[in-house]
Amino acid sequence: MPEQDNSDLEPPLSRRTTSKPLDPQEPKPRPPRGFRDQKYVPGKSLPTYTGPYSVGTFELEHAAREPRTFSHITRKGTPVLRLETVLMTVYYPASHDVHSSLTKKAKQSRELWLGRPRLGLIAGYSGFAKLSPALTWPFFVPILFTKLPAYRNAKLAQHWAPSINTKVGGVDVKTEAGEKPSPDANDRPIFPLMVFSHGLGGTRTMYSSICGEFASYGFVVCAVEHRDGSGPRTYINNAALSSTATANAKERKHGHHSVSYLFPKDNPWDTSPTNDKGVDSELRGAQIDLRMAEIEEALECIRLINNGHGLDVAKGNLRRKGAKGASSHGLDGIEWQDWTDRVRMAHITACGHSFGASTVVEMLRHDERFSSVSQSIIYDIWGAGTRPPEADSPDHRIRVPLLVINSEAFTYWRSNFDLVKSLVKETQSVPDPAPAWMTTIRGTIHISQSDFTLLYPHICSLLLKAYADPRRAIDLNINASLEFLRLVLPPDLAQVSRSLQNENLLDKAVATLDDIPSLAFTRPKDTFVGARNHIPHETRYRQNPKIYKKKFLARAKEMGDKEPMAESWLFAKPSEALLSGWLEKQRARVEVGADPSQCMT
Higher pLDDT, 477 or 599: 477
Per-residue HEC secondary structure of 487-537 comes to HHCCHHHHHHHCCCCCCCCCCCCECCHHHCCCHHHHCCCHHHCCCCCCCCC
The pLDDT of residue 243 is above 50: no
Highest mean pLDDT among 44-53, 164-173, 209-218, 532-541: 209-218
What pLDDT score was predicted for residue 35?
64
% of the chain with per-residue pLDDT over 70: 86
Q: What is the pLDDT of residue 597?
A: 44
Residue type, 123: A
Could you tell me which residues are beta bridge partners of residue 259? 234
Residue 13 confidence (pLDDT) above 90 = no
With a cut of 70, say whether residue 333 has pLDDT above it: yes
- Largest distance between two CA atoms of the chain: 71
Q: Which CATH architecture has domain 45-535+568-592?
A: 3-Layer(aba) Sandwich (3.40)
What is the predicted pLDDT for the residue at 493? 85
Q: For residues 348-372, give the mean pLDDT.
A: 98
- Write down the H helix ranges in 191-275: 208-216, 249-254
Domain boundaries, the chain: 45-535+568-592
For the whole model, what pTM was predicted?
0.91
Round to whole Å and give the CA distance between 262 and 260.
Answer: 6
DSSP 439-489: EEETT--GGGGSSHHHH-HHHHHHHH---S-HHHHHHHHHHHHHHHHHHHS
Write out the H or E segment, with its range, that includes residue 571: strand 568-572
**Whether 286 contacts 73, CB under 8 Å:** yes
Please determine, for residue 310, whether its predicted confidence score (pLDDT) is greater than 70. Answer: yes
Check residues 562 and 342 and name the one with the higher pLDDT.
Answer: 342
Cβ within 8 Å of residue 399, ≥6 positions away: 364, 367, 427, 432, 434, 600, 601
Neighbours of 560 (CB within 10 A): 12
Residue 514 neighbours by CB under 8 Å, 6+ apart: none
**Residue 54 CB neighbours (<10 A):** 27
pLDDT value at position 389?
92
Tens digit of each residue's pLDDT (9 = 90 or more) over 88-129: 999 999 997 765 555 555 556 899 999 999 999 999 999 999
- The strand order across the sheet containing 343-353 reads 151-152, 54-69, 82-94, 220-225, 191-197, 343-353, 373-379, 402-407, 436-441, 568-572
Where is average pLDDT lowest: 45-54, 65-74, 97-106, 501-510?
97-106
Name the residue among 269, 270, 266, 242 with its Cα closest to residue 254: 242
CA distances from 362 to 273, 342, 365, 377 (A): 21, 28, 5, 13
Q: What is the mean pLDDT of residues 136-160?
A: 94
Q: Is the pLDDT of residue 498 over 90?
A: no
For residues 216 and 92, give the distance between their C-alpha atoms in angstroms, rounded to a whole number: 7
Mean pLDDT of 182-193: 91
The predicted pLDDT at position 85 comes to: 97
Q: 493 to each of 50, 110, 344, 483, 590, how far by Cα in Å?
A: 19, 28, 8, 13, 14
Q: Span 562-579, mean pLDDT?
A: 93
Average pLDDT, integer, range 397-415: 97
Q: What is the pLDDT of residue 108?
A: 62
Distance CA 556, CA 307 (A): 57
Alpha-carbon span 279 to 360, nearest angstrom: 18
pLDDT above 70 (res 357): yes
Q: What is the pLDDT of residue 591?
A: 62
Helix axes 470-488, 208-216, angle to 10 degrees: 50
- Going by pLDDT thresholds of 50, 70 and 90, the confidence category of residue 74 is very high
Is the pLDDT score of 598 beyond 80? Answer: no
Please answer whether residues 257 and 157 qualify as being in contact, where contact means their C-beta atoms are separated by less than 8 angstroms: no
The answer for residues whose C-beta is within 8 angstroms of residue 292's C-beta and 6 or more apart is 359, 362, 363, 366, 369, 370
pLDDT value of position 66: 95
Alpha carbons 224 and 294: distance in angstroms, whole number: 8
Q: Say what the pLDDT of residue 41 is.
A: 64
Q: Is 17 helix (H, G, I), strand (E, B) or coil?
A: coil
Percent of the chain with pLDDT over 90: 68
Does the structure show a pLDDT above 80 at 360?
Answer: yes
Determine which of 76-85, 292-301, 558-567 has the lowest per-residue pLDDT on average.
558-567
Average the pLDDT over each of 223-232, 388-397, 439-448 and give the range with the smallest value: 388-397
Residue 34 confidence (pLDDT): 65
Give 448-487 pLDDT, tens digit per residue. 999 999 999 999 999 999 999 999 999 999 999 999 999 9
CA-derived radius of gyration, the chain: 23
154, 56 Cβ separation under 8 angstroms: yes
CA–CA dist 386, 396 (Å, integer): 14
pLDDT reading at 16 higher than 70: no
Could you report the per-residue pLDDT of 32-61, keeping only the tens digit for each? 766 666 666 667 899 999 999 999 999 999
pLDDT 10s digits, 537-550: 999 889 988 888 88
Q: Are 167 and 501 in contact (CB under 8 A)?
A: yes
The pLDDT of residue 3 is above 50: no
